[in-house]
């Protein structure tokens, strides 16, 4: 039986210059030899344009090591033309690039790219035989309107218009909820992410029938060491597209190793999570981590926290967590309003995690 493929990758955005990327990839490539798993591990890194040539050469030079696929962060759909500042598929092929990312949320929402533009790029990328990573995801406003499923299905149906069944072996999908990305992003709960992955896979099945099972669906959106294990064991999640938690090679190696150990272990030993566990995990992270919490109590409607360093707390991120109704401080104590119906359950889960 062929081993199931599990994907781990990262997009370096506009961080790390050429020397930093070469050093990072060298370390990551060496670490990759230590992965012990019954799974087929696929690593990929998507650095900036100016680093691509040396990144490809570094990966090629690491013979005898698991292959890291190098990707481009964007691509013009035209082979050539009067498009100043753009990069064509032919230019990327010349560099030896294997993967192209299309439709990252920053391209959609900062650069104002449309679903139709993403479709043009997807078709061009597949035509040139690149692995094509199409990113999709809903905004917080769309989530609050309860139209997340419709948004994801629309992005898929337009973005993949004209793709043939023969091209599906080169197609990957990344689900990255917009509200979960960036320095103030709130990770989706493992249950929510898996639910949306199921929606994505159902839509892909409607488009491509049985052939759709060739398409891996990866989760990205503030993946970190505290939530990676809960995400990777979900049945509809085929891999993790990690952000800043992957930008240090030893940290990325540790995250992957831990996730693989969780996957490979006895599933009965994987801690079961519920909505209160996920809320507790998110609160601890945005309060600055376990080491930053010196005291934790609760009353009828709120959790009371004393922190060692207020500067490590992300107030705006806490206020965006599902179930949080408000945050305020009294003297040296922060009070997180949750409501009588869930405050004890969330407090109890936080206490377990802090042990």
In order of 64, 90, 111, 338, the CA distances from 77 in angstroms are 34, 10, 16, 48
In contact, 12 and 46? CB cutoff 8 Å: yes
Which of 302, 312, 311, 309 is closest to 342 using CA atoms? 302
Q: Measured between alpha carbons, how far is 189 from 179 in angstroms, rounded to an integer?
A: 12
Residue with tokens 């009828």: 300
Q: Which residue stretches of 74-165 are H helix? A: 89-95, 105-109, 115-127, 140-144, 148-159
Pair of tokens at residue 55: 């990144």
Which of 233, 137, 117 is closest to 177 using CA atoms? 137
Query: Is 203 tagged catalytic?
Result: no
Q: Measured between alpha carbons, how far is 131 from 142 in angstroms, rounded to an integer?
A: 29
Cβ density class 115-149: b for 16+ within 10 Å, e for less? bebbbbbbbbbbebebbbbbbbbbbeebbeeeebb
DSSP 149-209: HHHHHHHHHHHTTT--GGGGGGEEEEE--GGG-STT--PPPHHHHHHHHHHHHHHHHHHHG
* Given the residues 140, 209, 299, 354, the one annotated as active site: 299
Residues involved in catalysis: 299
């Amino acid at each position: 039986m062929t081993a199931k493929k599990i994907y781990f990758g990262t997009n370096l955005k506009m961080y790390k210059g050429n020397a930093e990327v070469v050093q990072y990839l060298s370390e990551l490539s060496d670490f990759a030899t230590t992965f012990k798993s019954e799974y087929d591990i696929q690593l990929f890194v998507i650095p900036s344009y100016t680093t691509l040539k040396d990144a490809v050469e570094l990966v090629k030079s690491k013979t005898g090591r698991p292959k890291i696929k190098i990707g481009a962060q964007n691509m013009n759909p035209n082979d050539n033309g009067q498009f100043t500042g753009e990069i064509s598929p032919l230019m990327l092929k010349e560099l030896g690039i294997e993967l192209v990312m299309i439709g990252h949320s920053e391209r959609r929402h900062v650069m104002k790219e449309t679903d139709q533009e993403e479709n043009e790029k997807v078709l061009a990328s597949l035509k040139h035989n690149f692995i094509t990573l199409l990113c999709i995801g809903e905004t917080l406003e769309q989530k609050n309107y309860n139209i997340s499923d419709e948004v994801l299905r629309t992005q898929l149906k337009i973005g993949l218009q004209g793709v043939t069944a023969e091209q599906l072996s080169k197609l990957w999908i990344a689900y990255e909820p917009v509200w979960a990305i960036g320095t103030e992003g709130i990770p989706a709960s493992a249950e929510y992410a898996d639910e949306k992955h199921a929606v994505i896979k159902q839509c892909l099945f409607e488009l491509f029938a049985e052939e759709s099972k060739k398409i891996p669906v990866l989760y990205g959106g503030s993946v970190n060491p505290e939530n990676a294990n809960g995400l990777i064991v979900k049945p509809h999640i085929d891999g993790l597209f990690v952000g800043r938690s992957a930008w240090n090679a030893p940290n990325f190696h540790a995250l992957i190793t831990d996730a693989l150990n969780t996957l490979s272990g006895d599933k009965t030993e994987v801690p079961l999570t519920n909505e209160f566990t996920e809320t507790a995990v998110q609160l601890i992270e945005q309060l600055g981590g376990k080491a930053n919490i010196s005291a934790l109590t609760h009353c009828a409607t709120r959790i009371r926290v004393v922190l060692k360093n207020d500067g490590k707390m992300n107030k705006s991120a806490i206020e965006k967590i599902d179930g949080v109704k408000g945050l305020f401080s009294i003297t040296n104590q922060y009070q997180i309003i949750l409501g009588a119906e869930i405050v004890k359950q969330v407090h109890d889960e936080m206490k377990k995690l802090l042990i």
